[in-house]
A and B are shown apart, each in its own frame.
Chain A
Amino acid sequence: MTVALSDMVVRRKEVLVASLSDGQVLLDPESQNYVGLDQVGSAIWKRIDARTSVTLLCEELTQMFEGDPRTIEADTLRFLNRLIELNLAQKL
């Protein structure tokens, strides 16, 4: 079930989100787990509110953070896989 660049992803609508001083906190109402996101995580979370192509997402993040595309791709895939593992987002 690992997410690849060719996949589409979307966040789960049931998850509650609070924007705080330096990022966001998510709450999965089912597991009652809280998850903290830093600024980069929050930027990804905001962009997957609807069905989103992982490739396009990585391109946008590369532009936004002006980093090495390969590193950003690897970090983004790791982050998306973690969200899916925690049942906060899903692969389509």
Chain B
Amino acid sequence: MTDRFMYGWRVRSEIALPELTPWLGDDRLADVVIRVGAVPKQLDDAVYRDRVLEIGRDGAALLTAAGIAIIWVRAPDEIIVSPHPEASADEIRLVLFGSAVGCLCHLRGFFPLHGACIGIGERAVVFAGPSGAGKSTIAAYLCERGHRLVADDVSAIEILNGVASVWPAFPRLKLDPDAYRTLALDHSEPAQPALIRGKYHLDRRRSFRSEPVPLAAIVLLEQPGADGAASLARLHGNLASMTRLYADVFRPVVASALGGPRRLFAIQAEIVRTVPIYLWRRRFDFEAMNAWIDQLERLADE
């Protein structure tokens, strides 16, 4: 069994994870083990519970994806998957790489921003925002311009030697068919990518790297103003920066269950201290976007 790479962790899994690149790092023991096995019906010590997610006092998470799998993120180093007999392997990995891995990022002490991250030169830019804001579309567009994918959905930030850095996740980018067609990727893709639950899964491993990337900027995506005007402007003010950053944490309920903003406060402050945050109000017009993208590329190179 080949161990795999994800977020800097050595991952050993009983489920095949073809999206992940092989582990080429040191000979450490596995950081995370993914097993197939029995999971509890519910967490007895749950401090949060909704239809699909339970969080235990110690931060363990129980995720229910109806008809696909129940996934128990039991500890920072262990995930147990109980697959539904009729679920496909693709669907199970979709849940595993989404919510389950996001919960694990929380448990392992990262600042998990709900956003896509692109490596531009030697630095990275995170595009954060709610679902449907266009994070993956922008990421795909930047990949087409020759930049590399660092993360698609959850950008895991850690302060390494005093520098806010993003750990590469895995080289898969999910894109809805409209964006896929708009970007005309069907002409550049070597083969038609898999369509899983309404999204194309693009493989971007050719340019994927496993080293953490210093964070050059965070771009918060917003709808254009009432007048339809687009703008890219630096977000000023410590308070605004701190609150906006927390608002884009992946699954804030997990952070809340683990101790709330208190847990993320120090790393959040370090990010605000050292990384510029921009607000980008924009339309989905790639011609018009190019000027902004040029500006972002310069920002990352500065």
Contacts and interface: CB of A to CB of B under 8 A. Distances in A.
A23 interface: yes
B46 interface: no
A14 B259 CA distance: 13
A31 to B, nearest CB: 10
Contacts of A22: 238
Contacts of A21: 238, 273
Which of B238, B261, B262, B268 has the most chain A CB within a 10 Å cutoff? B238
B290 interface: no
A24 B265 CA distance: 13
B270 to A, nearest CB: 8
A34 B273 contact: no
B185 interface: no
B243 interface: yes
A32 B260 contact: yes
A27 interface: yes
B261 A27 contact: yes
Nearest to B237: A36
B131 to A, nearest CB: 23
Nearest to B269: A18
Contact of A16 (B237, B243, B265): B265
Q: Binding site of A, secondary structure by majority: helix, strand, loop or mixed?
A: strand
Contacts of B241: 20
Contacts of A35: 239
Nearest to A29: B262
Category for how many chain B residues contact A: 10 to 19
Contacts of A36: 237-239, 242
Contacts of A24: 238
A25 interface: yes
Contact of A32 (B238, B239, B261, B273): B261
A9 to B, nearest CB: 22
Contacts of A25: 238-239, 242, 269, 272
B265 A23 contact: no
A34 B262 CA distance: 11
Nearest to B266: A18
Contact of B260 (A19, A20, A29): A29
Contacts of A34: 239, 242-243, 246, 261
A20 B262 contact: no
Contact of A20 (B246, B261, B273): B273
Contacts of B237: 36
Contacts of B260: 29, 32
Given A18-B268, A29-B259, 18 more contacts: A16-B265, A18-B269, A18-B272, A19-B269, A20-B269, A21-B238, A25-B238, A25-B272, A27-B261, A27-B265, A29-B260, A32-B260, A32-B261, A34-B242, A34-B243, A34-B246, A36-B238, A36-B242
5 contacts: A18-B242, A19-B269, A25-B272, A27-B265, A29-B260
